[in-house]
Structure 1
Amino acid sequence: MIFGGMNSSYSLFPPQVLNCTVFLLQRATGFTFLTTKVTRIPHVKCFINQNGQSVSNSKAAQNKIVKKVGKNEHHLWKKRDSAGSGKKALNLVKIISELPNEKEAVYGALNKWTAWETEFPLIAAAKALKILRTRGRWLRVIQVAKWMLSKGQGATMATYDTLLLAFDKDKRVDEAESLWNMIVHTHTRSISKQLCSRIVSLYDHHGMQDKIIEAFADMEELGVRPDEDTVRRIGRAFRKLGQEEKRKLFLKKYQCKWKYLHFNGERVRVRRYACNEDGSTE
């Protein structure tokens, strides 16, 4: 761009220009030419003053870049935040703790607790279940968990594990067995090792050795490898049932070859040897 005259200032560039470099060329004829080199950076204005110097809009240059934040979408019927779920859980625990041990009374209170909710308060119910478990209120744990499952909510491995533990503590083995069979036939691809260990420990607590072997058969079919504690329980069940050969094969396949001992204040890894009664090793 070429401009003549230097007695006044000119607004050279639009707001999209940030920086200007000005070169002055003198000719013998007395005319002055202005040649500008432009770097395009947004939101700054450049001017030429009377002395031929480039002046930028310093206020605009000092402004920080502000990132545009997308608008938050609000859904009236899909409230996903967990605000206030702790208070709701404590309120639920308080309500059902004061009720008699009757299914109708407890279920009625639970239905009333969710009557004005736009969606099922799953987070609050899960927290209430955890509080009841911590306090050892096993009957209430069973009632709340069954109510959640009847509503089609909370069908997770964590809920099943808590319910199996409550059945174990409340000595309701038949219901635990029914729940386990339902889990095996429904969740064929997602049964956790912890849940398998839970059902084996439940049968072991009640001396049901044959049920332990059946649960182990389910684990093999599902492709779940038992942990160390479950291996000991299953091996003990084979021995009590007089199936020593199967026990040896089972331990050879699943028992860890290494164990850890504490020696002179240090944790030492040593090879495990299973000794028979005649003194030989497996």
Structure 2
Amino acid sequence: MKLLRVGEPGAETPVVRDADGTTYALSGLTGDIDGPFLASGGIERVRAALTEGSLPAVDTAGRRVGAPVARPGKVVCIGLNYRDHAEETGAAVPERPVVFMKDPSTVVGPYDGVLIPRGSVKTDWEVELAVVIGREARYLESPAQSSDHIAGYAVSNDVSEREFQLEHSTQWDLGKSCESFNPLGPWLVTPDEVGDPQALGLRLTVNGEPRQDGHTKNMVFDAPYLVWYLSQYMVLRPGDVINTGTPAGVALGLPGTPYLREGDLVELSIDGLGTQRQSFRNA
């Protein structure tokens, strides 16, 4: 299944798209796709309702698409999680996951405009596989347990301001938490439809020019391992998002490649998870 939210910011309504591409309203089951919905078995209720044929079809053509999960409690990010990305930035391949946090209010819809911060000269792109938590994960015993705690997967653009990130502070958060810096979606795709999360191609273009063309099989630490690992240090709660890292091809790692400027158009996609498109403008 593909879960999504349509409507203007703050007034999105939840819908589901089945394997045939038909969209159905979920307003009779839930007010939103959020942590409480995921924690209470919401996905299972949607699946049962689809099987029963009790959901009304709805036309969403022309409507804005919001982030597929509302108000994530936290966005946890993994840095340098692709060998080729670590190499292009001159960093060593990490022996343990590099973890940092991103302000959850940065999460916006997959087609919303992104604001280039005031004073920015190094706003960068990063296509990433996002993991959405569906069940509380606390001190998991092994990565094999992680699948029981994953609600699904989505496309994420971990937009970054490199000067803020690397030159203004010893921490990365300043370059990661600018407003609108985490387009997410269009869909939350359930694990049964995704299959192996380490078998997905990722792509990103800027103004039609290819920049990133990677594959999740090249992640240093795979998605189940990351859920397990993070659960040893923090409680992962339903609705939380994990950005699992980006492959090579970011501006930081491509000398001479311009960073993003007002009017640039970024398009990114992951196999089976859909496509995003953002226009960048100055804040």
Larger radius of gyration: 1
Which TM-score applies when normalising by structure 1? 0.24
Higher RCO (C-alpha under 8 Å, 6+ residues apart): 2
